[in-house]
Amino acid sequence: MAYETIIVEIEDHICLVRLNRPDAMNALNDVLFKELAEALTEAQKNDKVRCIVITGSEKFFAAGADIKMMSERSFVDVFESDLFTAEADAFLRVRKPIIAAVSGYALGGGCELAMMCDFIIASDTAKFGQPEINLGVVAGIGGTQRLTRAVGKAKAMDMNLTGRFMDAEEAERSGLVSRVVPAKKLMEEAMAAAGKIAEKSMITVMVVKEAVNRSFETPLREGLLFERRVFNSLFATEDQKEGMAAFLEKREAQFRDK
Ligand code: CO8
């Protein structure tokens, strides 16, 4: 399917989505967010896709929501349209893993988009920030919530209140990103991580994603109970038998997603 603001390629079970509004540093407008939600929903439905990678360009992942688009809107406009909410909901309904491969600026909605992914691999040039305060607004799709859970109150307050950017090294130290790699190696590393995930049992992969995400929604006791129950239920799968047999027979497992 041809899109206007993103480029989608599917190869070796990986759906690679490139944000593509270079003139506006990949700023997120209505069209981009809608197309992204559509592409991810399609990737979820497509049996060939086992992992998704979202990236931008070397200089910018996304510099935030489109300020030109938002500047003339009134409270009633944004309230009535519930800007980006349906698209964010569609994003969160994707059960396959999504990796953000971030190089350059990931600011405002760009940082929030990266945080909506399951984990972030950053290039050493990446810069994260929630500079909405400089525009007289606040983050609107997770910058005060997911960022606080990722890096803690002190840094989340600092970034949201001062609008300062966090470089890749600080982002890794703070737990915002899972790894930092040289800019030239970013896509190789992200695609290799996606490839590793694509080799696993899809059922187990989706259970892992759901269980880790559950930890954000529940108290520890409930989360542990959820984990125990999904652990138990995976013993009903053929892939559990295959995975354990393969280990004992010292061979690679051949998972069949059953
Ligand atoms: N929106 C629209 N256009 C942008 C944006 C943006 N967020 N960021 C950059 N651009 C455009 C610039 O206007 C410029 O376009 P032009 O050449 O036509 O003038 C072009 O990209 C290049 O930008 P600069 O000349 O500024 O490039 P620099 O290298 O000097 O600076 C920066 C790069 C630091 C990234 C700078 O562009 C910047 O600060 N951008 C804005 C960052 C920002 O404030 N982001 C937050 C936006 S608000 C937001 O994301 C809210 C999300 C919540 C939505 C909630 C919905 C419910």
Specify whether 183 is located in the same domain as 221: no
Specify whether 57 is located in the same domain as 184: yes
Q: Of the listed 112, 114, 140, 194, which one is catalytic?
A: 112
Specify whether 219 is located in the same domain as 105: no
Annotation says 210 is catalytic: no
Specify whether 190 is located in the same domain as 77: yes
Specify whether 89 is located in the same domain as 182: yes
Annotation says 132 is catalytic: yes
- Coil, helix or strand for 54? strand
Specify whether 192 is located in the same domain as 244: no
Specify whether 31 is located in the same domain as 138: yes
Q: List phi, psi (to 5°) of 174.
A: -90, -5
Residues 6+ apart with CB under 8 A from 60: 25, 26, 103, 104, 105, 106, 110
Please tell me the predicted confidence (pLDDT) of residue 2: 87
User: Which of the listed residues 198, 216, 236 is the one where a domain comes to its end?
Assistant: 198
Please state, in angstroms and as integers, the Cα–Cα distance from residue 180 to each residue in 100, 115, 128, 156, 164, following that order. 12, 15, 13, 20, 20
Q: Could you list the residue range(s) of the whole structural domain that residue 129 is in?
A: 6-198
Specify whether 225 is located in the same domain as 178: no
CATH number at residue 19: 3.90.226.10
Write the pLDDT tens digit of every residue in 170-207.
999 999 999 999 999 999 999 999 999 999 999 999 99
The pTM (predicted TM-score) of the whole model is: 0.97
DSSP, res 127:
E
Specify whether 173 is located in the same domain as 53: yes
Annotation says 109 is catalytic: yes
Query: Average pLDDT of 127-155?
Result: 98
ipTM at complex level: 0.98
Distance from residue 33's CA to the centre of ligand 1 (Å)? 16
Distance from residue 63's CA to the centre of ligand 1 (Å)? 5
Specify whether 84 is located in the same domain as 183: yes
Sorting pLDDT into bands at 50, 70 and 90, what band is 1?
confident
Specify whether 120 is located in the same domain as 240: no
Asked whether residue 55 is assigned to any structural domain, the reply reads: yes
Cβ < 6 Å from ligand 1: which residues? 24-25, 27, 63-68, 83-84, 105, 107-109, 131-132, 135, 139-141
CATH number at residue 206: 1.10.12.10
Domain count for the chain, please give it.
Answer: 2
Asked whether residue 122 is assigned to any structural domain, the reply reads: yes
Closest atom of ligand 1 relative to the 78 alpha carbon? 57
Annotation says 175 is catalytic: no
Asked whether residue 210 is assigned to any structural domain, the reply reads: yes
Q: Of the listed 27, 43, 62, 65, which one is catalytic?
A: 65
Q: Give 75-84 contacts, CB < 8 A, sequence gap 24+.
A: 83/30, 83/140, 84/28, 84/33, 84/109, 84/140, 84/141
Specify whether 126 is located in the same domain as 47: yes
* Probe target for ligand 1 pocket from 25, 68, 77, with the most ligand atoms within 8 Å of CB: 25
